[in-house]
Amino acid sequence: MTTRSARRHALPLALGGAAMLLALTACSSSDDTSSDPPGRSAASTATSSTSASPKVSGSVTVFAAASLKESFSTLGKQFETAYPGTKVTFSFGGSDTLAASITAGAPADVFAAASPTTMKTVTDAGDGQGEPSTFVRNQLEIATPPGNPQHIATLKDLTRSGLKVALCAKTVPCGSAAQKALTAGGISLTPVSYEQDVKSALTKVELKEVDAAVVYRTDVKAAGGKVDGVQFPESAGAVNAYPIVALKDAPNPAAAQAFIALVKSAEGQKVLTEAGFLNP
């Protein structure tokens, strides 16, 4: 056989050997992958993602409008369950008072206000971390003692002679909203007291110290059978937006961001809407 002929016969054999080698290599690669435990790749990705995020632990302090007390308390328990070992501490009150405390240096991680105006006090002072975002809205309602003994049906009824009415202070979001509703209705009203926050105004009704108070729908709902609620059309033009923000000097920034994420999550929104809040 000639040399050229021998090469022609050897070429198919070489190609066949190369093909067999590639097949064996492919099988070996496939076997290596299939020998991994199921979900190994997904688990590795999740671990990498988790390790890249700051660990949530320790205490987180939340300053929040008084009207958020019931719903935020529920969310605080959910947060502590989701992040074992954490502790959520709340300070509830009038948004203006809380804002003043923050700008004066009170240590806190999160601020949730009942109006953009009070939030602006904090952000203008440079105490916010990033832009605040609206997470819910709230609408006013008239609270009366059970059974509505004075038969209050409209906002104008609150001006009747001898009727005792409580309002939130004008500097508090619920008070500012009440004034806006009164102005829209062309109504002039002098209450027997201006309260520091919406819960204080509601308490006046629960104790029957006043005949009515202008509060939020969420507060009427939270009070259960202790008060009755009367809706009025002027409230539609005085709906308050609730913004939330992490604070610049937050002692626990990772927990602050995690709490805000919970508030804005589907689970958090469910708790808030069930409490009577409106969608943002």
Q: Is residue 18 part of a domain?
A: no
Do residue 98 and residue 148 come from a single domain?
no
Q: Is residue 128 part of a domain?
A: yes
In angstroms, rounded to a whole number, what is the distance separating the alpha carbons of residues 89 and 249?
17
Give the model's pLDDT for residue 229.
Answer: 98
Question: What confidence tens digit (pLDDT) does each residue in 135-152 have?
Answer: 999 999 999 999 999 999
Question: What confidence tens digit (pLDDT) does each residue in 148-194 have?
Answer: 999 999 999 999 999 999 999 999 999 999 999 999 999 999 999 99
Identify the CATH number of the domain in which residue 102 sits.
3.40.190.10
Mean pLDDT of the chain: 86
Do residue 270 and residue 153 come from a single domain?
no
Tell me which DSSP letter residue 207 carries.
Answer: T
Give the model's pLDDT for residue 266.
Answer: 98
pLDDT at 34 over 50: no
Confidence grade of residue 11 (pLDDT, cut at 50, 70, 90): very low
In this structure, which amino acid lies at residue 204? K
Q: How open is the CA angle 159-221-137, to the nearest 5 degrees? A: 85
Do residue 131 and residue 180 come from a single domain?
no
Do residue 126 and residue 144 come from a single domain?
no
Do residue 101 and residue 172 come from a single domain?
no
Q: Is residue 14 part of a domain?
A: no
Range of the domain at 260: 56-137+241-274
Binding residue numbers: 67, 95, 198, 216
Binding residue numbers for molybdate: 67, 95, 198, 216
Q: Is residue 246 part of a domain?
A: yes
Please tell me the total count of domains within the chain. Answer: 2
The more confident residue out of 6 and 106 is: 106
In angstroms, rounded to a whole number, what is the distance separating the alpha carbons of residues 114 and 49?
35
pLDDT at 74 over 60: yes
Do residue 166 and residue 154 come from a single domain?
yes
pLDDT at 51 over 60: no
Do residue 212 and residue 263 come from a single domain?
no
Give the model's pLDDT for residue 258.
Answer: 98
Do residue 159 and residue 119 come from a single domain?
no
